[in-house]
Structure 1
């Protein structure tokens, strides 16, 4: 009987999404993808629902309920208040690194197209809507390189990793979702632009650490412009950039130290004017690092200090954050200091250090901390780290993270079987119902320990809500929008996404 139940659940998931991916709690990635079998009728109802339970009895299962025709007296009612409006949402997604692109290119064209459609399609998938890429190498590239390794900005050129892997993958994604947003971040400038410190200014011929030589601020500004223009020439628009990934982290395999005063000057004197002169509307987000500023007291409130220079601030859309240190409440603090500036969340990782393939634990924690935790603290976007790594947690390099998992992991033996991890689920639960341009709106009514949620109004007027039930009890929760209401039994230890007109 258990076997029949399992087969029924697997078949139902295949019908709903056209591809089976394994997310079991073992370390093996050995279940093959299956073709779409459109034999059952589409799930229909007034409210579209996606459900994932920590034990995968529901695996991004698509369900539906109808509006209730009876009066609502439920004490567990969450009422949406669209008049109470917060931030506009830009989107949700993952990083398409060199490693991710390499793994995707090892798949058969048919399997890759199926996975990318499931991930990025608005009509046939989960509608992931934001991508982060590196400007040059990252710690998940196939090698260490910049786009101008020979001194002289006239030597700028896309390298083989872009030409052979990243650009082809981005084109395939854009063909599926032409409105995808892309943000770029450098891990390091060309080594000839680096110095040991800003006093001695001796050459720092290393991918790791060093500081940007102020003598090359203008060249580095042009470096960004040339990169954006080169991708746009390939039909790949760049929505935003950050001046430096993790500017307070000297230890990454590709890295650069850039304190707030340096970043402020670089933006004010070079990056901002260079983008504007080139006629580019690419947004600039500052910082791109941890909530706790790596405990460097002189770097606290890094974005706010940059904003204090009005000229620099005029070029800056807002700030980006990671969660490798500190508390997400920092987002609220920065918003309260500068409510005119945007916030986005650009990186978080799972790995062996945080039991990253233990889905029952990670799904609950990552949904609360990363997905709903950042959105409910004013973030317009949520982006996780590598979209896809292989079953050996790579390709990776010495000096980079060798213990990270991807949002999905693909079996290195056949590049066919895929395992979905918590980061794929949390992004999919957001992107499946909350569309770019949506506004986070207010709610009132039912609250309980272990129940976390956020509500939105989409650009088309539909409503969306994403709810986490991190308790051991089924919760029958009613959602009401002032006109309609409906109830749904939210399973214990689950995430549920709703969308209705």
Structure 2
């Protein structure tokens, strides 16, 4: 080969593989897409690799017309069914909304479409919001800081930030589900402990005074009704975010016995108001923060028939313990639902390094929850800024968002692992889908889950952490197709019967 020809070929290869050279910390301007044409084929495929050579790349493959003899075949089995799926998404905190509203309206619309639209984006379908402040708010506050439940009112963070953003998202995806959780009740409802019952005027820790159980239940009802007045329907609530965490910038300790008693007020209040809002208990870690008297927290509440009748199920975080706890709780209470409601990335786990985080978060967050009966997966902040804020002192000051936006222009966005793991689920698995059986090919580092959507289409999400690309064949009862899954990759498929 001549030197000139070799140089020309090398140059062409470099140009054609330009996307392969993206670094892990590269940012994309809001509104910049990965491709302009929609691929056509029997099966829609989305692919992301840790090195961003495939950046949620959409492609298509056709069914194979030859007989299948591949030893790397995954067979789905729709006759084996597990849980129904509610959705996948992220927390829309005050901080996330602040950052979103710093963007230009055009850039924000483009980002939200790419995130929440079923037709033009990832189809995120579930969000979590705070009832009052969280550690990612613009200040500490509740919705009734003046004593007396008659003083309840939405505050600036709801009216000026959260509600406007939710309305924009609902315009894109009207079927969005919303979960609400409080970080603290009004301080005038707090006491130091349930023995002394002394006032506890602090944002952090304390206990809910039993004398205010009825008022606090009314607080939830008023919040749900207030959002409904803006056309925002709340699908579910938890009584307390991280009830075993006395720290954080705003918090409350609520052991299982306290939550059980409060549910006996909250459940009837929601029911009598005709709201149809689901109630999930616990909302904390797999290991119950290593408190032996709090183990199996939700199950202990279920054992009380009066409380249990109002409870849909339990919510979990993964800051301690292992996702196998979900399977354990399902076996102890199979009639109750499970959802996963919070996880974080940050400086402590190299959270912006996609090549490191993509596989780990897909395995331990996405598959760890879904393959153990969780009906939903919700990660923490949808968007933080490049200074990891705004955040509150005493809360998480080292967290990254699912995406991070540059404070210098509020346009350049770094998309992190949590953004992709949710997108790979939400893009092909729609609310109302059922997780179904799948088996056959197995290898260390290959993990997958299959679903049948309510419209009859099939979906499969797979990760390849084997160190080499894999030609995987997927077979249903009628058709089969093959796709080469890159190493360190997540791939999502959706196809019709």
1:26-37 equivalent positions in 2, closer than 5 A:
26=25, 29=27, 31-33=28-30
- How far off its partner does 1:457 sit? 0.1
| Matches of 1:500 and 1:306, distance apart in 2 | 41
- How far off its partner does 1:358 sit? 1.1
| Matches of 1:191 and 1:34, distance apart in 2 | 43
| Matches of 1:37 and 1:116, distance apart in 2 | 16
> Aligned residue for 2:201?
205
Q: Is the 8 A contact 2:384 2:400 kept in 1?
A: yes
Residue of structure 1 aligned with 2:389, choices 372, 390, 394: 394
| Matches of 1:321 and 1:35, distance apart in 2 | 35
| Matches of 1:41 and 1:204, distance apart in 2 | 60
> Aligned residue for 2:102?
106
| Matches of 2:355 and 2:395, distance apart in 1 | 27
Is it true that 1:136 corresponds to 2:147 in the alignment?
no
- How far off its partner does 1:444 sit? 2.0
Provide the alpha-carbon RMSD of the alignment: 1.4
Residues matched between the structures, number = 485
> Aligned residue for 1:5?
16
- How far off its partner does 1:33 sit? 3.5
Question: What are the superposed Cα offsets for residues 404-435 of structure 1, whole Å, 9 maximum, x if unpaired?
Answer: 00000000011000110000000000000000
1:344-359 equivalent positions in 2, closer than 5 A:
344-359=339-354
User: In 2 relative to 1, CA 194–463 (structure 1 residues): closer, same or farther, beyond 3 Å?
Assistant: same
- How far off its partner does 1:373 sit? 1.0
> Aligned residue for 1:83?
79
SS of residue in 1 equivalent to 2:306: helix
User: In 2 relative to 1, CA 386–36 (structure 1 residues): closer, same or farther, beyond 3 Å?
Assistant: closer
- How far off its partner does 1:56 sit? 0.8
- How far off its partner does 1:5 sit? 3.4
Residue of structure 2 aligned with 1:246, choices 236, 242, 246: 242
- How far off its partner does 1:34 sit? 5.0
| Matches of 2:461 and 2:228, distance apart in 1 | 34
Q: Is the 8 A contact 2:314 2:339 kept in 1?
A: yes
Q: Is the 8 A contact 2:424 2:461 kept in 1?
A: yes
User: In 2 relative to 1, CA 448–105 (structure 1 residues): closer, same or farther, beyond 3 Å?
Assistant: same
| Matches of 2:29 and 2:383, distance apart in 1 | 16
> Aligned residue for 1:476?
471
SS of residue in 1 equivalent to 2:201: coil
- How far off its partner does 1:443 sit? 1.2
Which stretches in structure 1 are left out of the alignment for 5+ residues?
11-22
Segments of 4+ moved more than 6 angstroms:
none
> Aligned residue for 2:3?
none
> Aligned residue for 1:455?
450
- The TM-score with structure 1 as length reference comes to 0.95
- How far off its partner does 1:4 sit? 2.3
SS of residue in 1 equivalent to 2:311: coil
User: In 2 relative to 1, CA 311–99 (structure 1 residues): closer, same or farther, beyond 3 Å?
Assistant: same
| Matches of 1:485 and 1:410, distance apart in 2 | 41
| Matches of 2:356 and 2:38, distance apart in 1 | 32
- The TM-score with structure 2 as length reference comes to 0.96
